[in-house]
Amino acid sequence: MSRHRRRPRDWHPLAASDPVPGDPDAILDEVAHMRQVALMLRGEARDLRVIGQGDGLKGRYADALRHGADGLEVHLRETAERYERVHGHLTSWAHALEDLQTEADRILRNARTVAEVNGLDENGHGHESGGGNEHGSGGDDPLQGHRASLAKVVAQHEERAAHYAALIRHEIDDKIKDSPWEWFKDAVDDWSGAISLAVDAMSYAATVIALVAIATTPAGWVAGLAIWLSVGVLSGHLLLAAAGDGSWADIAMDVFGLLTMRIGTVALNRLRGVREATKLAAQLAAEEEAAANSARATRTLRDRASAVVNRRGATRAERSRARHARNIARAANQRVGREAAESEAAVPMAQASRWEAASVGGDVEEANHFKDVKRLRAAYPRSPEVQRASNGAERAHRMFKGAWIAASASDGTDKLLGSSDVIPQKPAFGPYGDLKNRCSKEVGSAW
C-alpha cells in the first residue's frame, strides 16, 4: 500500500465532497501500534508462564503466586489474540478502502475530462448557447455514466465499512473467557513434559531400529513399526508446536523423514519393475541363444537333409526320411531354447552381501534386486533387450540410497546436536537449540 497518497479535495462536477472518506494510512498506523501491543502481551505471557512453571519460587505465598501467574498468563494470551484479530480486520479494511478510493479518484479524473470536452461548468451544466439549452437539462447527461459508477463505489464503500465494523464490534464485545483452544493449550502445557519424553523415546526407538536394520535382516513388521513410530513422533511434535511448547523445525524434520521414506518406497518399486523386466528379457535371450547354438550344431544334418529333399533323383522315401530328420533337428533346437529359458527362470535372485545391504541402510530386498539386475546384464552382454530392460536400475538405486543418506544425516545431526529428554545428561550444541527455539510459535500467534 502506498503511504501518504494525495487525494483530491474538490469533487466537482460529481459530488460536493469526498464520497469515499477515510485515511488508510492512519488506519495502518493504528494497526502497527496494535501489533506491538499484541507482541508485548505475548511477551508478558511467556514471562508469566516461566513464573508459573518455575521451581525457583520459595516461601509462604509461592503456590498462590504460581497459580495466579498461570491464570493471568492465559488471559494475557487471550487478550493478545483479540488484538491480533482486530488488527487483522483493520488491515483488511485499510486495503479495501484504498482500492475503493483509487477507483473513485479514477472516475473523477475521467469525469473532469468529459466535462472539459463538453464545455460543462463545475456543477456539470453546459454554458448557454444560441438555442438557450444547457447540457444536462436537455438530452443525455454526458456525466450520467460516471455518476452511476461513482454511486456503485459509494455503495461498496458503505457495505465494506459496515462489514468490518461488525467484525471489529464482535471482537470488542467478546468477553475474555477460555476458548476450547485455550483449554487444549492448557492441557498440552500441563502434559508437555510427558509428551516431549514420549516423543523423544519414540524418535530414539526409530533410530535404533534403523541402526539394527543395517547389521541384520529385520522382519517386515519391524519396518512397519519404524514408520508408525515416525508418525507418532510427528503427531507429538504437532501437539507441542501448536501449543507453543515445541519447535516447528521439528515438524519440518519429521515431514522430511517421512518424505524420504516415501521416496525410498517409490525407488524400490521402480527397481522391482526393472528387475522383473530384465528377468523376462533374460529368459528370452537365453532361449534365443541356446536355440541358435543348437542350430549351429545341427546345421550339417539339416543341410544334408535339405540337399536330399531338393535332389531330382531322390526317391519319395528318401525325401520323406530327409524331411523327418530335418524336422526332428528343428524341434530339438526349439526344445533346447525352451529348456534354457526355464533354466534361467529357475535361477534364484542374487544375494547381496552384508556390506552391500548396509550401503543402502540394511534393506536386503533393495540390495538383492539391484545385484540381480547387474548379474543378468553381465550374463547376457550381447542382448540389446536385456541391456535396454535394465536401464533405470542405477537411477532407482541412487534414489533409494540418496533418500536413506538424507534421512540418516538429518536424524543423526538432530540427535548429535540437540538435547534429549530421554538422555538429559547428553551434551547439546547451544546455538542449534536456539535456532530451533526461534521457530517456536503457537497456532494463532503473530509471527
Q: Tell me, letter by letter, the H, E, C secondary structure of 52-74.
A: HHCCCCCCCCHHHHHHHHHHHHH
Rounded-to-5 percentages of helix, strand, coil across the chain: 75, 0, 25
Query: Phi/psi at 353 (nearest 5 deg)?
Result: -75, 170
pLDDT at 298: 86
Which one, of 266, 18, 3, 337, lies nearest residue 157 by Cα?
18
- Name the pTM for this structure: 0.56
Q: Under 8 Å CB-to-CB from 222, ≥6 apart: which residues?
A: 209, 212, 213
Peptide bond before 180: cis, by omega within 30 degrees of 0?
A: no
Q: pLDDT tens digits, residue range 100-150? A: 889 989 998 898 888 888 877 776 666 544 333 444 444 478 888 888 998
What CA–CA distance (Å, rounded) separates 37 from 413? 38
Show the CA angle centred on residue 199, arms to residues 194 and 205, nearest 5°. 125
Residues in the chain: 447
Q: pLDDT tens digits, residue range 160-188? A: 889 888 887 777 665 555 567 667 776 77
Question: Is residue 133 within a helix (H) or strand (E), and if so which, with residue range?
Answer: none
Tally DSSP H helices, then E strands, for the chain. Answer: 13, 0
Alpha helices per DSSP H over 382-440: 384-389, 393-417, 430-437
What CA–CA distance (Å, rounded) separates 65 from 118? 78
What CA–CA distance (Å, rounded) separates 135 from 40? 61
User: Are 403 and 267 within 8 A, CB to CB?
Assistant: yes
* Coil/strand/helix, residue 138: strand
DSSP 226: H
Give me the tens of pLDDT residue by residue for the chain, a chain 447 residues long: 555 567 888 888 888 888 988 888 888 888 788 778 777 777 776 766 665 555 544 444 445 545 555 556 566 666 777 777 777 888 888 888 889 889 989 998 898 888 888 877 776 666 544 333 444 444 478 888 888 998 998 999 899 889 888 887 777 665 555 567 667 776 777 787 888 889 888 988 888 887 777 666 655 666 678 788 888 988 988 888 887 778 888 899 999 988 998 999 899 999 999 999 999 999 999 999 988 888 888 888 888 888 888 888 888 888 888 889 889 988 988 898 899 899 999 999 999 888 888 888 888 889 999 999 999 999 999 999 999 999 999 999 999 999 989 998 998 898 889 888 888 888 888 888 888 877 776 665 544
The grid cell for 183 is 483449554
* Coil/strand/helix, residue 120: strand
